[in-house]
Structure 1
Amino acid sequence: QKVDVTLLMVHSQDHLMSAMTIRRLADEIIDLYQQVHAQK
């Protein structure tokens, strides 16, 4: 089955990938904060 790739689909995928990247970055920052806080 052929799926037409539209500009809207590409834009949506870009937003999704950006959100996933930011979420991963936030998880890393939280993890680093917890490690620093545990050393005090």
Structure 2
Amino acid sequence: LPVLLPLASVGYGPVTFQMTYIPGTNNNGNVYFTWMRFQF
């Protein structure tokens, strides 16, 4: 079942910090996933 998930992004120059939240289901936990992106 496709679901639209929230995605937040904050950047300065070539560096971007991105994060998303994946809500849990029955007997599964929530996931908060973050990563950094560098552009060359």
Scaled by the length of structure 1, the TM-score of the pair is 0.22
For the pair shown, the structure with the greater C-alpha radius of gyration is 1
Higher RCO (C-alpha 8 Å, min separation 6): 2
Q: Which protein is richer in strand relative to its size?
A: 2
Q: Which protein is richer in helix relative to its size?
A: 1
